[in-house]
Structure 1
Amino acid sequence: MDIEIKSWLHDILKAIGEIESFLEDSTKSFADYQNDLRTRRAVERNIEIVGEALSRILKFDSTISISNSRKIVDTRNRIVHGYDSVSDEVVWGIVTQHLPVLKTEVQELLGV
């Protein structure tokens, strides 16, 4: 695997790790997330990083298969360009449903 792709995959893992750290408290609910502006902004920033890294990977090698990568890239674009229409529900869904799958797939690609 190309060194640039490995670097972007590591960036994705790091961003996912940061998101997980913001939501470590097992009692953190959607309502808690929605009422915590700093956590929301931090999560959104890390989703931007994940989306940008995925976009670069797909441009570099379109044969790499990562589930829902297009949706995550699209969400990144929405956060960056349509900040006023970012849905907390969509971001929460990505964090709780898609990022765990993405994390596993990235770890498998990196062999870690």
Structure 2
Amino acid sequence: MSKGCKVYFMDILESISKIEEYTKGMEYSGFTGKSLVYDGVVRNLEIIGEAVKKIPADVKKKYPEIEWKKIAGLRDILIHEYSGVDLRIVWDVVVTKLPPLKESVKRIMKELA
């Protein structure tokens, strides 16, 4: 794996770790009631999406189980439609999508090392 590509995967893992830290022990109601947490989560989802956009297409093709386009698309929505973002969708991503993404990225980094 190229050094640049590794950095993108490291950015993804770092952002997921931050989101996990921000939301640890939190329920949806707590998430929606804390704007600092929400803002931090959204910012790190944007970073994940930006990193995904920079990963080379040949690497993405090797791992079709990851929803690369959806991740990048979420980033675009968060950046361009910030005031209209549905908090339920953001929370669902945090709870259901990030844990498997984290495991997949860890596996990819081992395989491409």
The two structures share one fold, judged by TM-score above 0.5: yes
Give unpaired runs (5+ residues) of structure 1.
Answer: none
Q: Which residue of 1 aligns with 2:66?
A: 67
1:111 alignment partner, SS class? helix
The separation in 2 between residues aligned to 1:62 and 1:103, in whole angstroms, is 15
Measured after TM superposition, the shift of residue 2 of structure 1 is 1.5
Would you tell me which structure has more helix in proportion to its own residues? 2
2:66 alignment partner, SS class? coil
Match status 1:8 vs 2:8: yes
CA contact (8 A) 2:5 2:56 kept: no
1:55 alignment partner, one of 53, 72, 94: 53
Match status 1:98 vs 2:74: no
The separation in 2 between residues aligned to 1:87 and 1:59, in whole angstroms, is 29
Q: Which residue of 2 aligns with 1:45?
A: 43
CA contact (8 A) 1:68 1:98 kept: no
Q: How big is each residue's C-alpha offset from its partner over 1:33-79, in whole Å with a ceiling of 9 and x where there is no partner?
A: 01110000000000000000011114574424252221121111011
Q: Percent identity?
A: 28
1:63 alignment partner, SS class? helix
The 5 A counterparts of 1:101-112 are 101-111=100-110
Q: Which residue of 2 aligns with 1:21?
A: 21
Q: Which residue of 2 aligns with 1:35?
A: 33
Amino acid at match of 2:16: I
The separation in 2 between residues aligned to 1:34 and 1:60, in whole angstroms, is 38
> So what's the TM-score if we normalise by structure 1?
0.90
Give unpaired runs (5+ residues) of structure 2.
Answer: none
